[in-house]
Amino acid sequence: MFGAKIDGGKLSKKEMEENINELLIKEKKEFNINSSNVKLLKVRELYDLNDDVIAFYYNIIEDEILKGYVLASVDPNLDSILEYGQLIGEKDTHYGEVLLSNNNLNAYYLGYQAIFFDTDVNSLNIQLEKKKNSIINKIEEEDKEYAEQIESLDLGLNEDVVIKNTKDLQLFAIDPNGMSTLNWTKIIGAVA
């Protein structure tokens, strides 16, 4: 974890950028950074399930060349850096292009590699419920009893739930960054 966590409030832009700079110093090789001419380009804000901004997505640029991305949290109760990685080429094929192409909708970050787009959190919950039901229908074809177990659970997105069947197949996982939301990546896909 980079930077200090503070109870309550949100991290300022300066605090977030300090956390990102700590990461860049530590992970220079990861980003293939060779000079001190590095800047951060804010791509977009990401929301949580309360429709509050939870993080910002940045591109890392060195000498006008795209080097990587960082997803920095504004919530001091989460890790300050939620995701990061190197990018190769002229486009941000991780989240950047998808975030920019859906700029008419809110981007909701639900955990590692799980960004969903919708107009508001109520509409998002409907979207996720439909996807959950679609998956339950597929599971039902192979294991009706297991599908009934999943269907009977209240899978509200604010619950910490891990569901496993007898084969120990994990369909839902708690966000590794400690968010109290479901990580839907294994059941509905990474970027919806």
**Taking residues 63-79, what's their average pLDDT?**
91
Rounded to 5°, angle at Cα 7 from 105 and 81: 50
Q: How far apart are CA 137 and CA 62, in angstroms?
A: 48
Residue 184 has pLDDT above 50, yes or no: no
pLDDT of residue 166: 35
Q: Read off the pLDDT of residues 117-156 as tens digits, 9 standing for 90 and up.
A: 999 988 888 888 888 788 888 888 888 888 777 777 654 4
Residue 45 has pLDDT above 80, yes or no: yes
* Residue 9 zone, left/alpha/beta (φ > 0; ψ -120 to 50; rest): left
Q: Read off the pLDDT of residues 148-183 as tens digits, 9 standing for 90 and up.
A: 777 776 544 433 333 333 333 333 333 333 333 333
Closest CA to 112 of 192, 185, 31: 185
Residue 187 has pLDDT above 70, yes or no: no
**Taking residues 3-14, what's their average pLDDT?**
63
Given pLDDT bands bounded at 50, 70 and 90, which one contains residue 63?
A: very high
Least confident of 7-16, 39-48, 88-97: 7-16
pLDDT of residue 78: 85
Closest CA to 96 of 57, 65, 62: 57
For the entire predicted model, the pTM comes to 0.68
Per the prediction, the chain carries an average pLDDT of 75
